[in-house]
Amino acid sequence: MILSLQNANIYQGASIILSNVNIQLQKGEFVYLIGKTGSGKSSLLKTLYGDLHLQTGTGEVCDFDLKSINWKNVPFLRRKLGIVFQDFQLLTDRNVYQNLAFALEAIGWQDKKSIEARINEVLDLVGLRTKGFKMPYELSGGEQQRVVVARALLNHPELILADEPTGNLDPETSDEIIQLLMKIAKESNTAMLIATHDYMIMQKFPSRTIKCEGGQLLESGMDSVNQHISNMTSSESVIPAISLDIKIENNSTITPSTEKPKESNSGDFEKF
């Protein structure tokens, strides 16, 4: 078991965000985490990588007890994790290779040959073997996110936590990133927990889905995802046409009708 929370309450400061959380992830499992903004997705992820302390219930991630872990041991927990953010967080004054080398050196890697070999391995995995000399600003958004995934893979993580990894990407590039993460999960037996609002991605590449809703964490099947997509695609934003009953008077002025337009009965888009 890579991740296990039982009867856990997730807090942000003194406020409880999620209550009675029960979740388990196995090696190599790929899981979507969904929910509206403010529903608790980010707070859950922060608890899993030790940024928020687990106060009640029990929790274990990569053999670390989240309830008893102290701040000195949090860096050791994070060495077993890979974390992928929406906004890349690459060092803009260093090229791709130097970004990855910096990350390895920060966690204690010293041998230059080992560092070079591992960087080449992860760049191969994400399809960027020939881009190591490029600066971040010379890469597309999709390529930058691939570098972020490569960085997350450097220390052979047991679990990757991704917070909106396709949020800044176009649909085609988003597909590529999700396919890449699924491939890595399958081939390297790395568990993935992917927080996302991208329901189209989930429909294209279905997998187990967990939903934050109403202060709870619930298993959510593909029927729920398909319903969200159906709601978005079947609803139409109808702008009522204003009828101008144009009358040509003797003085040649144009007078619009004062008749009010009929109200549209179309529902508002649901905000995800």
Look at residue 86 in the predicted model and tell me its pLDDT: 75
d(C-alpha 99, C-alpha 160), whole Å: 19
What average pLDDT does range 78-93 have in this prediction?
Answer: 89
Report the 10 Å Cβ neighbour count for 266: 12
Higher-pLDDT residue of 117 and 253 is 117
Question: pLDDT tens for residues 153-209?
Answer: 999 999 999 999 998 889 999 999 999 999 999 999 999 999 998 999 999 999 999
Look at residue 248 in the predicted model and tell me its pLDDT: 39
User: What is the token pair recorded at 43?
Assistant: 């707070």
Look at residue 249 in the predicted model and tell me its pLDDT: 45
Look at residue 15 in the predicted model and tell me its pLDDT: 92
Q: Determine what percent of the chain is predicted with pLDDT higher than 90.
A: 73
Residues 180-200 as b/e (b if ≥16 CB within 10 A, e otherwise) read bbeebbeeeebbbbbbbbbbb
d(C-alpha 211, C-alpha 80), whole Å: 25
Beta-carbon contacts of residue 250 (< 8 Å; ≥ 6 apart): none
Q: Chain centroid to CA 119: how far?
A: 24
pLDDT band at 220 (very low <50, low <70, confident <90, very high): confident
Q: Is residue 17 predicted with pLDDT exceeding 80? A: yes
Look at residue 261 in the predicted model and tell me its pLDDT: 43
Question: pLDDT tens for residues 232-265?
Answer: 455 444 434 433 343 434 444 444 444 444 444 4
Report the 10 Å Cβ neighbour count for 85: 16
Mean residue pLDDT of the chain comes to: 85
The one-letter code for the residue type at 50 is: G
CA-angle at 86, arms to 187 and 186, nearest 5°: 10
**Which domains, from first to last, does the chain contain?**
1-80+157-242 (3.40.50.300), 93-155 (no CATH)
